[in-house]
Amino acid sequence: MPNSVNQAFNRLIRLVCALLAAVILLAQPVLAYDVLVGGQSLGIVLKSEGAVVVGFTPVPQADGSEVYPARDAGVQLEDRLVAINGQPVNYNQEVADLVNTLGGDEPLMLTIKRGSEQLDLQATPAKSTEDEQYRLGLYIRDANAGIGTLTFYDPATGSYAALGHRIDEQGESEGEVFGHVLAADVQYVESSRQGEPGEKVGVFDNTHLNGSILLNCELGIYGKLDDEPQNPLYPQPLTVAEADEVQTGPATMLTVLEDEQIEEFAVEIERITPQKHTADKGMVIKVTDERLLAKAGGIVQGMSGSPIIQNGKLVGAVTHVFVNESSSGYACFAEWMLAEAVNLPNNL
């Protein structure tokens, strides 16, 4: 082959390689963009068949008597309350709010599942003299509900990321609405102790942070929020750090310990595990903030998803606590969570 032809052929090969490299680069998702940092406590409610009756409580009356509307109507322990006047219910606060809204002189139709049998029972709520709220006199356990923490919200797409680990009971799911999220108001925190992780205890508030759950995977839950969440500590978006930008050393964590107040606490990133694939244990962190150690004993259940900030960037989210050393736990890289969020379907 003549030398001039050979040179032209080599130039053509180099051009083709350059074009292929450009196409591959353009095909990669652009992850290094800004998101609104979370820290808010989220109520997480999965699709389930109602709320489980675990006890009865008296409703005090003005004449000094006490009544048990649901029990007297035939409701039994371990019944599953699935609807009130045809409206599905799934968790404790939802039942309380609906009963108080519908309460009055007319009986409510309670749809109950008892084993394989479905029953419709009529019960008239009674107004309690303690708080002037209509009540059925029920203790209810949320069947598939809990508290987690919002990691970030992408204002460009309306997508959110939370929790940082899979909800084990559900396995992996994608592409369908299989639950929803809403605000959680933290009433108190049970502190972690040696061998016993603590937890956030709160009530759900459906007036804000409402959204869908579209994906449950190894790195948490993802979906769409109806409205943009507010974070007074970080009102402006922060850049999501790439995994190789994260360093051992000081960082901060955002979470809620009381009501809906987001607070920032000092932590130390003690170890980083380089990862070629997404996983929920990319970092080991240790709580160094004396306030957080005093109020919660370290990391508690309900802090999963709490965002971690270092050098002005969102670097990760809390995923697990060390049961025998509650001041420490695992965290995942925020970059991996963002990769999941940007792939959510936009039509659900």
Q: How many CA atoms lie within 13 A of 239 on its CB side?
A: 12
pLDDT bucket at 10, cuts 50 / 70 / 90: low
Domain with CATH 2.30.42.10 in the chain: 51-141
Does residue 30 carry a pLDDT above 50? no
pLDDT bucket at 336, cuts 50 / 70 / 90: very high
Nearby residues of 216 by Cβ (< 8 Å), 6 or more positions away:
166, 167, 170, 171, 172, 173, 174, 178
Does residue 23 carry a pLDDT above 70? no
247-270 pLDDT, tens digit per residue, is: 999 999 999 999 999 999 999 999
Question: Taking residues 77-106, what's their average pLDDT?
Answer: 88
Does residue 282 carry a pLDDT above 70? yes
Fold topology of 51-141? Pdz3 Domain (2.30.42)
- Which of 41 and 9 is assigned the larger pLDDT? 41
45-63 pLDDT, tens digit per residue, is: 877 667 888 889 899 999 9
Domain with CATH 2.40.10.120 in the chain: 34-46+145-341
What is the C-alpha to C-alpha distance for residues 178 and 181, in angstroms, rounded to an integer? 11
- Which of 339 and 12 is assigned the larger pLDDT? 339
Catalytic residue among 41, 128, 304, 328: 304
- Catalytic residue list contains 277: no
Min mean pLDDT across 110-124, 206-220, 273-287 is at: 273-287
Catalytic residue among 165, 180, 306, 326: 165
CB-CB neighbours of 93 under 10 Å: 22
pLDDT bucket at 24, cuts 50 / 70 / 90: very low
Catalytic residue among 289, 306, 320, 328: 289
Select from 36, 341, 302, 47 the least CA-distant residue to 184: 302
- Which of 178 and 320 is assigned the larger pLDDT? 320
Nearby residues of 217 by Cβ (< 8 Å), 6 or more positions away:
166, 172, 174, 340
- Catalytic residue list contains 180: no
For residue 8, the surrounding DSSP H or E stretch is helix 3-27
Mean pLDDT score of the chain: 86
Question: Taking residues 76-102, what's their average pLDDT?
Answer: 88
Q: What is the pLDDT of residue 28?
A: 42
- Catalytic residue list contains 41: no
pLDDT bucket at 29, cuts 50 / 70 / 90: very low
* CATH 2.60.40.420 corresponds to the domain 34-46+145-341: no
Q: What is the pLDDT of residue 168?
A: 63
